[in-house]
Structure 1
Amino acid sequence: MNSLEILAPVGSPATLEAALQAGCDAIYCALPTFGARAYADNFTLEQMKEVVHRCHSLNVKVHVTMNTLLFEDEIEAAYQQAKQLYEIGVDALIVQDLGLIHLLHERLPQLCLHASTQLSITRPDQIEQCKKLGIRRVVLARECTKEQIQACIRTGIEVEVFVQGAICISYSGQCLFSSLVYGRSGNRGLCAQPCRMPYFLYKDGSKVDFPESYLLSPKDLSLIEEVQTLQKMGVCSVKIEGRMKNREYVYKSVELVKKARDGILLDLEDCKELKAAFNRGFTKGHFDQKRGRELMNMAAGNHQGISVGKILGQKKDRIEIGLTEVLRQNDGIRIVGAKEDFGCRVNYIYDASGKLVSHGLPGQKIMIPVLQKVKIGSMVLKTVDSHLQKQVEKIVQEKKRKLSVDCHLSCQGPGHPLVCQLFDGQVQVACESEIPAQPAKKRPLSQEDLVKQFSRTQDTFVQIDHFTFDLPKEIFFPLSVLNHLRKCAVDLLYQEKTKTGPVMEKEYHVDCVSLPLEGIQIQEGLSNTNPELADLRYNVTNSYALACLVKLGYKGAMVSLECSLEQTKALVEAFEKRYRSPAPVSVWIYGKRRLMLMNHCVVNTVCKDGKRQNCALCHRHRFTLKGKDGKMYRLMGDAKCHMGIFESEAFDAFDQIPEYRRMGIHHFHIFFLDEEPGKRAEICRRIGL
C-alpha cells in the first residue's frame, strides 16, 4: 500500500500551526496574487520563506496555489512570481492557466507542477495531455466517481483527491456565473458564491411550489470514511478544502483524516466537533454517485453547526431552551424557524431557577437573554464552539510539532573528537566536537549523561527519540562542549532540511504553426461541433495558453468569455509579435452564455426525487431560475443529464465585429439555445448568412 499524503489548507499563520499540530504531511497556501482564494489572509513572499523553512524542517511539503486565469498583461508577472517561489524551495505549484503551465514547463522544467482541480480533469485522455505539458500530479475534479478516479490512477500519474470541504455545484473552472453576472471572477479568486444564494424554480412561467430556496447549494464533501479505500486504490494525496476556514476546522479535519488513514476508529464526539467547526451537511458527493437531495442542502447555504435544542418559550428578554447537547457561555448560536434566521453569542446562561451558570447540559432547560422575538419550537444550532476554540488554541500555543530524529554518538578514544550524527529518515548530518576527548580522572562520561545533555532540545525544532552509542570507556568531555556540539548538530540539520537547489532557467522557445480559421461557427445547445477547435472549456485568456493548445494539436481556440475586447486585442497582438503568425482564435458574438455546467439536475430534484436520470422534463417544459434580485436564468440539460444555467437574454456583440476584423479575427461563434426559427433567421441575416 502506498504512503498516503494528507494535504491541509493554510490561509494564515494561525491555520499553519493548526495544520502542523494535527499531523498533516503537506500544506497548500498562496501569495496575495494569482491564488483562487483572494479573500484569505495569504502570505507575503518573506512570510512564505518562513513557511517553507518551518515545514521543510518537519518533513512537511509546501504546495503553492497559482490557480487563477491570467490575462496578457499578467502572465510575465505570474512567471516571475513562480520563479521566486521555486527559488525559496516550494515543492510544487498548483496551476490552472494553460499559458502559465506551458511557460513554466518550457523555462523551468525542474519546477514541479500540479494541475489544479480548476482544469476539470475527469478522464484519462485529459491526463495524457497534462503529461505532455510536464504535469506531475493532477488534482481531480470533485465530480469524479470512484470508477473515474480508478481510471485516472491507471494512467500512472500522481492523483490527488479532495476528501473534505466545500464543493462547487458547477464543474470547477467552468463557472462564469460570478464573473458575468456579478463582475467577480471565480476563475480569478473573487467568487461571489452565487450558488449559495436563494432561487425559485419556474416551469413554463409559473413558480414551482417548493419549501426550500437554496436550489444550487450543495452539502460539504466528506469522504473521511473512504480514505483507506482511496489509499488502496492508489491515490497519492487526499486534500482538504478550507483556506478561508478557521483553525478549529483545519485542526479537526486534518486530525480526522489522519485517524481514518491510520485505521483509528472515529468516535461520535470527533464528528460533532468537526460539524461545529463548519458544515453545510455532509455528502459523499459524486464519489458514490449521490444525486438530488442527497447531494444538496437546499434549506440553507451557510454553516449549519450542530443542533443543541429547541425553543420552549420566551419571557420578556429571555428565551427558554430545552437542550439536547452541551451549550456553554461564549458559544455562538443560530435560531432557525422564523422567517429569517437569527444568530447571537451566548453571553449569559441561567438555569431553571434563574441562577447564573457557565453551561447547560443535555436534558436541562436553560434561559439566555435575547431581545428579538423568536418562534416557539424553533431549532437552536450551535455555530461557534467556544470549548473547541480554547482546546485548539491551547494545543497550538503550548505544543509545537517537532521533527523526530535518531542520534548516534561515537568517539575513538582520548585525543579524538566526539561525533554526533542526527538522522530523521531522510537527511543525515554529522558534527565533531571542537575539543577532543580527555582521559577520565574521576567520573567517566556515561551514556545517561549524554542522553541527558543531548535531549535538551526544547527550544529547537527537533526531538531526539532514540540514541545509539559507539564509545570507549573512561573518557570525559566538559558539559559546555557537549552543549555546543548538540547545538551545532541541530543547526546543521536545520540548514540541510531548508536549503534549496540552484535555479536553471531555460530559454523559452515554441515551434508554432498557425492555421487561421475562417467563417461562422453555429452551435446548438450544449454540443461541441468542431473537435479541432479548443472551445470555451479551455479558458484561453492569454497568448501562451493559445500557443499551448496549438502545440497540443488544436487548430485554434475560442477566446474566453471573461476577456474584454481590449484583453482579446492584447492576446492577439502578443501572439503575432512572438510567433510572427496570425493568432488562430475565434470569438463569441451572439448567444445566451452558459453560466454554470452542473453534474446535478435542479429540475428533477425539485419536481421529482432527484435520482432518476433521463426524465426529459427539462426538454418538455421551459424551466427557469429566478434570483432574489428578480433576474431569470434558463435551465437546459443534455442527454447525460448535465445541466447548464444560461443567461435569459442573449449576449450580443455584433457591433464589435469590425474591431475584431481589424485585429485579424475572422472566425465568430453564434450560439442558439432556445431561439425561435424567426429569431435564428434574423441573427443569420445580420451576420450575412
Structure 2
Amino acid sequence: MNKIELLAPAGSMESLIAAINNGADAIYLGGNKFSARAYASNFDNETMMKAVDYAHSYNVKVHVTINTVLKQNELKEALKYVGYLYEIGVDALIIQDVGLISLIRDIYPNFELHASTQITVHNGEGALYFKEKGLQRIVLSRELSLDEIKHISKDLGIETEIFVHGALCVCYSGQCLMSSMIGGRSGNRGRCAQPCRMQYTLKSETLGEKKGYLLSPKDTCLIEDIDSIIKSGTSSLKIEGRMKKPEYVAGVTRNYRQSIDKVLKNGKFDLHKGKNELAQLFNREGFAKAYLHKNVGKDMMSYNYPKNTGVFIGQVTNSGEVVLEENVALGDGIRFHDDGFTLSKILKNNSEVKEAFRGDTVKLFPVGGYKKGYRLYKMSDKKLYDELKEDLKLYKKKISLTLEVEFKVNAPLVIKTKFNGKEYKVYGENVEVATNAPMTRERVEDSLKKSGEIPYKFDQIVFDTFDDGFMKIASINNLRRELFEKILKEEVSSHRKRRIQESLKIKNVKSNEDLGYIYSCITKDQLKALSENKKVQNIALDIFFSRQKNALNKDDLKKFHEQNSNDKNIYLKIPNIIKGEFNNIVKTIEELMPFIKGIITSNVGIIRIYKDKLFIIGDYKLNIFNKEAAEFYAEDVDIPCLSLELNRKEIKEMMKNINCKIGVNIYGNTELMVSEYCPVGSTFGGKASKKECNGVCMKDNFKLIDRMNENFSVLCDNNCRSHILNSVATNLIEQVEELKSFNITNFRVDFKDESYEEVSDILNQITKGTKNENKKYTQGHYRRGVE
C-alpha cells in the first residue's frame, strides 16, 4: 500500500500539540488573515513560527491555509505573508485564490502549493488543469465517490487529499453564495454565517409544505472505509475541525491513527469503540458517509437538530428513571431538548454510585427540568475528556531513538544517534580513572534515558565501549542535552529557507474580443422573448435543466440556429459542476459545435479541453476577485467574468492596467447553492439516495422559505443536482454606464426562473431604459461588498 498522510486540524497551539501527540503526520492551520476559518483562534506570526518549529521537531509537516479569495488591495500583504511562511519553513500552502497562486509561482517557484477544496476540483480534467498550473496536490471536493477518488488519484497519477471526518457543507465548497448574499458574510472569505444550519420550509404549489433543518448535513465519518480509501491511491486523509476544541482534535486524530495503522499492518481496529468515541466527541444525529458511496439523500441530513446531538443514553420512564443505553459517570454533561445539566448524583437501587453502565436502571440528578418521556443525551463524557486533556501537554509524545555510547577511560565520552536519515554525534569530557568504585552501566543508562522538555528519548542504549571509569552525572546530563539540542536545531533549521526573488512573468491572454451583452436562458418562453428582440445578438442556451417545465433541450438549440443563424450568435451554457456525466457533456458539446459560437462555464475541466477549440466565457463561479486571477484564467478563457461579491470600488481598482477583457453579471437570480443533495426529492419524494429519485421535482415548482419569510426558488438539473436561487434578482442595469467607465465591455444577463413577461420587461429596461417600479430587485454587493 502507498504511504498515507493523516492530516489533522489546528485552530490553536493546544490543538496542534494534541494532534501531534496522537499521531498526525501533518497539521493544517491558518494565520490571522486570509484563512477560511476567520473565527478560529488561528496563529499570529510569532505563534506560527513556534508551531512550525514544534511540528518539525517531530518530523510533522505544516500546511498553512490561505484559502480565501483576495481583494486587489490585499494581494501585496498576502504575498509578503507568503514570504514569511516560506522563510520559517512551512511545508505547503493550501490556496483558493488563483491570482495569489500565479504570483507565488513567479516569486517562490519552489513553494509547494495545494489547491484548496474551495477551488471546487471535482473531476479528473479539473485536477489535471491545476496540476498543469503548478499545484502539487489537489484537495478534492467532498462530493466525490470512492471510484472518482481512485480515478483521479491512481489512474491519473495526481496527488490528492480528501476529507474523512467532520462537518460537511451541503453546497459544493467554493460555490456557495448564500451567507454572502443574505447577510454579507462570505464563505469565500472565511466568514460563513452557516445559513445551512437554519430552519426552512419547503413549499410546493400542490404537494403542501414541510419544515425542518432541510439543508443541515450530518458530519462525515469514514473510519469504516479506511482500507478502501487507502487503496484508492489518495495521499492524505484530512480531518475537518479548526473550530473544534483540542480534546476533539486529540480524540479524532487518535482513532484515525489507530485505524490507519491497523489497516497498514493487516490488523483489526475496534470500530464499535472507535465510532462511539467519535460520536461522543461530536455528531449531528449520527454520522453519514454521504458521497463516498453516492448515498446523498435524506439519510445524510440532520433534519431535527443542527448542532451537536450527543449520544442517546435513554428515555425517562414513568417513575423518572432511565434504563441506560450508554455508560454515564459523575461530571458528564446531559441534554434534553435545548436544556441540560451536569450530572451530580446517580442513584442505582437507591444507592449512590459514581458511574453506571449500559443496561442499568438509574435516576439522574439534578432531576429538575426533564420529565417522563424525555429523551436524554450525553453531551460530554468527563472520563473521556479528562483522558484527552493529558494529550494537550507539551512534549508528551516522545520519539524513541537508539543511542550508541563510547565510555572509554582517558578518552572523551562519545554519544551518537541517527534520526530522520542523519547521524548526530557529540563529544564530552574525558572519562576518568575510578579512584573508588567505578560507575555502573545502569547509572550511565539512567542518566542518558532522561528526556524532559524535548521531543526525543533514548530508550535503547548500546555501549560500543564501557570501561571501569568515572564521570560526573552532571557532565553526562549536559552531553545528553547537547545531543538533543543538536538534533532539534538541525530538524528545525533544515526546513528554513532563504527568499528567492524571481521576476513577475507577463501572462499570455487568449483573446481580446468584446461581445457587449450576453443573455442566457433555460426555458422556451425565455428564448422566445429573447429571439423577438432584434437588439439581442448573443444568446446562450442552457439545455441542462430539461427536467424543468418548458425547459430547453438539444433540438431546441439546433432549431433556433436554423432559424436565427444570420442575426444571432448562439452559445451553450455548460454546468459548473460536472462529475459522472462528464463524457456525456463532452459528447453534447461535440455534437453542438457546428451550431454554437462558444460556451459559458466555470468548470475548469471543460475549460482545459476546449481552451484551444472554442470561444469561452468564464462564469462568475470562477470567483475572480483581482486582476491577477482574471489574467490567470485569461490564458485559457476569452472573457472571464468577475465574482458577484465585488463592490464598485473593488471592481474599479482591479480594472486598472488589466491585461484582458472582463465580463460582469448585471442581471439574474444568483445561484446561492448547488448541491448533490436534493431537498425536493428527499423531502417530498422519500428519497434516501440519489438512486431512488422519483422525479417529483418535475411535477411542480418549489420554494425554500426562511425564517424571514424570503422565498428561494429550487431548481433541479438533469443530473439530480439542486440549485437554490436568491429570493430577489440582482439588477445592475442602471449601473452599466458606470461599469463602462471602468473599461468593462461585456455584460451578462442570466434568466433562470423568469416568465416570458419578466424577460421582456428586463429587455425593455436594457434597450429602452424603462423602469419597473413594481418589481423588487437587489444590487447585490455592488454598493456594500463583503468583508
TM range (shorter): over 0.9
Distance 1:487 1:375 in 2: 62
Letter in 2 for 1:307: F
> Structure 1 stretch 98-107 or stretch 457-466: which is displaced more?
457-466
Task: Name 1:25's counterpart in structure 2.
Answer: 25
Are the aligned partners of 1:313 and 1:321 in contact in 2 as well (CA < 8 Å)?
Answer: no
Structure 1 residue 429 corresponds to structure 2 residue 508:
no
SS in 1 for 2:630: helix
Deviation at 1:509, TM superposition (A): 2.0
Task: Name 2:779's counterpart in structure 1.
Answer: none
Render the CA deviation track for 1:376-420: whole Å, top value 9, x for unaligned.
Answer: 312111112222111111343497112222222247x65543332
Task: Name 2:782's counterpart in structure 1.
Answer: none
TM-score (norm. length: structure 1): 0.92
Are the aligned partners of 1:404 and 1:424 in contact in 2 as well (CA < 8 Å)?
Answer: no
Distance 2:54 2:692 in 1: 50
The partner residue of 2:643 within 560, 564, 585 is: 560
Change (3 A) 1:320 1:439: closer
Deviation at 1:276, TM superposition (A): 1.1
Task: Name 1:538's counterpart in structure 2.
Answer: 622
The partner residue of 1:390 within 386, 389, 407 is: 386
Distance 1:265 1:613 in 2: 33
Change (3 A) 1:620 1:207: closer
Distance 1:428 1:547 in 2: 48
Task: Name 1:486's counterpart in structure 2.
Answer: 480
The partner residue of 1:676 within 755, 763, 766 is: 755
Task: Name 1:219's counterpart in structure 2.
Answer: 218
Structure 1 residue 258 corresponds to structure 2 residue 257:
yes
Distance 2:201 2:366 in 1: 35
Task: Name 1:589's counterpart in structure 2.
Answer: 666
Aligned residue pairs: how many?
Answer: 668
Distance 2:707 2:207 in 1: 16
1:376-415 equivalences under 5 Å are 376-397=372-393, 400-410=396-406
SS in 2 for 1:429: strand
Task: Name 1:207's counterpart in structure 2.
Answer: 208
Task: Name 2:231's counterpart in structure 1.
Answer: 232
Are the aligned partners of 1:428 and 1:493 in contact in 2 as well (CA < 8 Å)?
Answer: no
1:10-159 equivalences under 5 Å are 10-153=10-153, 154-159=155-160
Q: RMSD value over aligned CA atoms?
A: 2.3
Letter in 2 for 1:405: L
Are the aligned partners of 1:326 and 1:360 in contact in 2 as well (CA < 8 Å)?
Answer: yes
Are the aligned partners of 1:256 and 1:266 in contact in 2 as well (CA < 8 Å)?
Answer: no
Distance 2:272 2:448 in 1: 42
Are the aligned partners of 1:402 and 1:462 in contact in 2 as well (CA < 8 Å)?
Answer: yes
Distance 1:613 1:543 in 2: 45
Task: Name 2:681's counterpart in structure 1.
Answer: 604
Structure 1 residue 326 corresponds to structure 2 residue 323:
no
Distance 2:348 2:157 in 1: 64
Are the aligned partners of 1:320 and 1:368 in contact in 2 as well (CA < 8 Å)?
Answer: no
Are the aligned partners of 2:409 and 2:467 in contact in 1 as well (CA < 8 Å)?
Answer: no
Distance 1:540 1:141 in 2: 19
Deviation at 1:622, TM superposition (A): 0.5
Task: Name 1:170's counterpart in structure 2.
Answer: 171
Distance 2:480 2:620 in 1: 60
Task: Name 1:338's counterpart in structure 2.
Answer: none
Render the CA deviation track for 1:528-553: whole Å, top value 9, x for unaligned.
Answer: 343512212211011111111123x2
TM-score (norm. length: structure 2): 0.81
The partner residue of 2:455 within 457, 461, 486 is: 461
Task: Name 1:515's counterpart in structure 2.
Answer: 512
Deviation at 1:44, TM superposition (A): 1.3
Render the CA deviation track for 1:138-164: whole Å, top value 9, x for unaligned.
Answer: 111100111110111133232111111
SS in 2 for 1:262: helix
Change (3 A) 1:395 1:350: same
Are the aligned partners of 2:329 and 2:382 in contact in 1 as well (CA < 8 Å)?
Answer: yes
> Structure 1 stretch 170-179 or stretch 264-273: which is displaced more?
264-273
> Structure 1 stretch 247-256 or stretch 167-176: which is displaced more?
247-256
> Structure 1 stretch 347-356 or stretch 169-178: which is displaced more?
347-356
SS in 1 for 2:649: helix
Deviation at 1:365, TM superposition (A): 2.6
Are the aligned partners of 1:349 and 1:359 in contact in 2 as well (CA < 8 Å)?
Answer: no
Percent identity, please: 31
Are the aligned partners of 1:516 and 1:585 in contact in 2 as well (CA < 8 Å)?
Answer: no
Letter in 2 for 1:605: S
Deviation at 1:106, TM superposition (A): 1.1
Render the CA deviation track for 1:258-279: whole Å, top value 9, x for unaligned.
Answer: 1111114225333222111101
Deviation at 1:637, TM superposition (A): 1.1
SS in 2 for 1:467: strand
Change (3 A) 1:127 1:267: closer
> Structure 1 stretch 323-332 or stretch 65-74: which is displaced more?
323-332
Structure 1 residue 369 corresponds to structure 2 residue 359:
no
Deviation at 1:608, TM superposition (A): 1.6
Are the aligned partners of 1:39 and 1:244 in contact in 2 as well (CA < 8 Å)?
Answer: yes
Letter in 2 for 1:311: V
Task: Name 2:248's counterpart in structure 1.
Answer: 249
Render the CA deviation track for 1:592-643: whole Å, top value 9, x for unaligned.
Answer: 0000000111111111232346644323310111112211110001111111
Are the aligned partners of 2:675 and 2:723 in contact in 1 as well (CA < 8 Å)?
Answer: yes
SS in 2 for 1:179: helix
Deviation at 1:21, TM superposition (A): 1.8
> Structure 1 stretch 468-477 or stretch 639-648: which is displaced more?
468-477
Task: Name 1:268's counterpart in structure 2.
Answer: 272
Distance 1:459 1:203 in 2: 64
Task: Name 2:764's counterpart in structure 1.
Answer: 685
Distance 2:19 2:450 in 1: 26
Structure 1 residue 294 corresponds to structure 2 residue 377:
no
Mark the runs of 5 or more structure 1 residues left unpaired by the alignment. Answer: 336-340
Task: Name 2:412's counterpart in structure 1.
Answer: 417
Are the aligned partners of 2:672 and 2:725 in contact in 1 as well (CA < 8 Å)?
Answer: yes
Are the aligned partners of 2:674 and 2:723 in contact in 1 as well (CA < 8 Å)?
Answer: yes
Distance 1:322 1:375 in 2: 14
Structure 1 residue 504 corresponds to structure 2 residue 504:
no
Are the aligned partners of 1:405 and 1:465 in contact in 2 as well (CA < 8 Å)?
Answer: yes
Task: Name 2:566's counterpart in structure 1.
Answer: none
Distance 2:270 2:35 in 1: 33
